[in-house]
Amino acid sequence: MSDKNQKKYRKIKRSHIGSSIIEFVLFSVLAAMMTVLAGRSFASYIVDSKIAAEYDRIKYMARIYDNSVRNKDNNIYNLLVEEGRDYIITNSNNELTHVNGINTISDAGGYVKLPGYDEKVFVYRDKEKGFIYPTTSEKLAVDYMGFRDWASDEANEEATDLEAAAEDDTMIMLPVWISVDLEGGNSHLIGKAVFSASKRDINMLMALAGAMAVLTAIILITLLFNAIKNVVRQRRMISVFFTDVATDGHNWNYFMVNGNRILKRSCNARTKYAVVNLVFVNYRNYCVAHTIADGDKALCKIYNAINSFIGRREMCAHTSSSSFALMLRYNNQNELEARLNKLIDKLSHVDEDHIFDFQAGVALTDKTYDEHGNRIKNKDISLDNEYNNASAARENLSGSLDSGIAFFDDKMIEEQKWLDTVKERQQAALDNEEFKVYYQPKYDPQTGKLRGAEALIRWNSPEFGLIPPGRFIPIFEKDGFITSIDHYMISHVAADQKEWLDKGYKCVPVSVNVSRAHFIESDLAEQIRDMVDKAGTPHEYIEIELTESAFFDDKKAMLTTIGKLKGYGFAVSMDDFGSGYSSLNSLKDMPLDVLKLDAEFFRGDTADSRGQIVVSEAIKLGKQLNMRIVAEGVEVKEQVDFLAGEGCDMIQGYYFAKPMPKSDYELKMDAPEE
């Protein structure tokens, strides 16, 4: 479960916010680059367009020159001067043949493509103000940085072309020299083209740049708002993911995510932590007596009280209806136990009108070892496993309703391993008939003769040897495998009885325990009948034994099943009479054939007059209800004599015989006549 929670948490942390931040950063960079690129492209387009217009005028001057040469017009240079432009004319050897104005042409030049023209135009850079120049990509480039520095220097000096032009609403004038072939193609007219930008041009450029900046800002603000919104949404999602509905505090997800984070911090490598499963014992009864809402209020009080008790670097979370998970720092176990007792005492009085009970199971991280016996470091500890161990320790207290503390230890680990071993091998053991039927005889205390027997199970494991029932029957009862054992025992006892009858032995009834779990099946009586009939055993030789606790389940179903069993000729007995609290009421309603007095009646001093009175009256009551009485657990002669005097029908116990294998029990039976 913890791995799933960790994955969910990482998914929530990555959701929305990561993509939003990346999107914002990428778009910011892209927008800046596009703004600069668009500004430069637009400026270059304006420069190219204006230079193209200048090129038209220089071509016009070249046509004037060619016409004048063809017409032998001596006024040729006067006509060109009227154009008001500096220019030079070169011959086929690139020698100057004529200069008008100041010649500032440089040697640096190259072909460029101008808007609206298919042919390439040769352009020279100006020596003095060479801010416009041809590039190797056949485009005109503007040295914006150089122009900015130059304009800054010129601003404080005497009138310049730029300042003079400013009077004519012209802000910028940048020269470049354009070469045009004259007629014949051997000589050239190279005119000074001037890129000029007026206030209007600059204002348009600034307006466009401003509009792009505003648009970019709007988009960036939108993305930023979306990123912030996703951060807020993520925090809300994490808050929901970590919030317990009942207490409005931290839940199991918070405990697992942050607990594992604490354990993995290097600064906590040597810190001892105790993982605690704290259970509010009275919770369900409290809700029944009050309301669920009152129960939630009590949980809130408990949660708040725990949080006021624990330290800053410790944790508490409400994990289920009545359970809380704690992770506490500690120095030694005795100090921790004293602290937990103090906490339980505080919580027991958290409500003014009630006293609550709490049980705590504790797992210590410094006592966590791997399969090789090496201590596991904090950073490698599974908090989920530790809490499960704490819960397993707390389960040892579940039989009581009082407050208590239990620590998880090696014994519990061994018990858990044994539990896993039993569950893994139970079916194979059944298939391989590793379960053996043992018989404990029942004797008549008056005559000492065999009157009956009880079938008991033992597990003869090839690996573990003979295993007593107390080591595996409780496990079978919890996991439901006990019903298969019931079938196994009834079938084998019926087969043994049939075998002895066929050999001529004088058989006595043998009682077989049927678990309370089996009585939920409406056809139980039919199942038992069919198994016994399959073996061919008369029904009077099989007695069905029920524990007293089974009578407190579905009473109607129980009565129906008992009625059917008696109708099929089986005797029915109640085992452990006197171990519960409703025995007399059970006797009143159940049509039983045999009553077995619990062994606890015969523990201790046999001369106890109060105990003898109870046993005596129980026997009389059973007799009046037409039941045979069996006393089990009898170990001494004084008990036998007393029971014989009271009219007890049969005695089962170590005084006469212990449970024994089939072969030994066969020797106790009346052998067949020769």
pLDDT of 376 reads: 76
Give 69's contacts (C-beta < 8 A, 6+ positions apart).
Answer: 76, 182, 183
Q: How far apart are CA 319 and CA 481, in angstroms?
A: 31
pLDDT of 583 reads: 61
Q: Strands 358-364 and 96-100: what pairing?
A: unpaired
**In the predicted model, is pLDDT for residue 218 greater than 50?**
yes
pLDDT of 457 reads: 95
**In the predicted model, is pLDDT for residue 344 greater than 70?**
yes
Between residues 32 and 331, the one the model is more confident about: 331
User: Sign (positive/negative) of CA torsion 459, 465, 468, 474?
Assistant: negative
Q: How far apart are CA 304 and CA 663, in angstroms?
A: 66
Tokens (6 digits) for 583:
């025995």
Structural domains present in the chain: 19-210 (no CATH), 252-408 (3.30.70.270), 420-667 (3.20.20.450)
Q: How far apart are CA 593 and CA 573, in angstroms?
A: 6
Contact call for residues 671 and 649 (beta carbons, < 8 A): no
Between residues 344 and 130, the one the model is more confident about: 344
Coil, strand or helix at 578: coil
Average pLDDT of span 549-562: 77
Q: How far apart are CA 303 and CA 429, in angstroms?
A: 48
**Of residues 635, 639, 637, the one with CA closest to residue 658:** 635
pLDDT of 163 reads: 46
Average pLDDT of span 215-242: 73
DSSP state of 105: E
Average pLDDT of span 592-596: 91
Coil, strand or helix at 328: strand
Give the least confident one: 41-55, 158-172, 307-321, 451-465. 158-172
**In the predicted model, is pLDDT for residue 224 greater than 80?**
no
Contact call for residues 61 and 54 (beta carbons, < 8 A): no
pLDDT of 18 reads: 59
Q: Strands 542-547 and 450-461: what pairing?
A: unpaired
Reported as a single tens digit per residue, the pLDDT across 283-305 is 888 888 888 888 899 999 999 99
To 5 degrees, how large is the angle CA 227–CA 231–CA 236? 145
With cut-offs at 50, 70 and 90, classify the pLDDT of residue 258: confident
Write out the H or E segment, with its range, that includes residue 167. helix 161-167
To 5 degrees, how large is the angle CA 460–CA 461–CA 463? 145
**In the predicted model, is pLDDT for residue 144 greater than 60?**
yes
pLDDT of 175 reads: 92
pLDDT of 152 reads: 56
Between residues 636 and 582, the one the model is more confident about: 636
pLDDT of 95 reads: 87
Average pLDDT of span 233-242: 70
Contact call for residues 483 and 646 (beta carbons, < 8 A): no
499-to-256, 436, 453 alpha-carbon distances in Å: 61, 16, 16
pLDDT of 134 reads: 87
With cut-offs at 50, 70 and 90, classify the pLDDT of residue 406: very high
pLDDT of 556 reads: 81
Tokens (6 digits) for 381:
């500890």
Contact call for residues 48 and 114 (beta carbons, < 8 A): yes
**Of residues 110, 112, 124, the one with CA closest to residue 189:** 124
Reported as a single tens digit per residue, the pLDDT across 489-544 is 999 999 999 999 999 999 999 999 998 878 778 899 999 999 999 999 999 999 99
Reported as a single tens digit per residue, the pLDDT across 602-611 is 765 544 677 7
Average pLDDT of span 635-645: 90
Tokens (6 digits) for 213:
């900046």
Tokens (6 digits) for 63:
């046509």
pLDDT of 158 reads: 39
Between residues 175 and 209, the one the model is more confident about: 175
Contact call for residues 383 and 2 (beta carbons, < 8 A): yes
Tokens (6 digits) for 56:
């038209």
Highest mean predicted confidence (pLDDT) among 92-96, 218-222, 604-608, 652-656: 652-656
With cut-offs at 50, 70 and 90, classify the pLDDT of residue 166: very low
**In the predicted model, is pLDDT for residue 337 greater than 70?**
yes
Average pLDDT of span 19-29: 69
DSSP state of 376: P
Coil, strand or helix at 582: coil
Tokens (6 digits) for 345:
């005492």
**In the predicted model, is pLDDT for residue 139 greater than 70?**
yes
Contact call for residues 578 and 609 (beta carbons, < 8 A): no
Mean pLDDT of the chain: 83
With cut-offs at 50, 70 and 90, classify the pLDDT of residue 360: very high
Average pLDDT of span 120-133: 88
pLDDT of 672 reads: 74
Tokens (6 digits) for 130:
């060479």
Phi, psi of 121 (to 5 degrees): -115, 135
Tokens (6 digits) for 392:
């397993």
**In the predicted model, is pLDDT for residue 328 greater than 60?**
yes
With cut-offs at 50, 70 and 90, classify the pLDDT of residue 372: low
Average pLDDT of span 567-572: 94
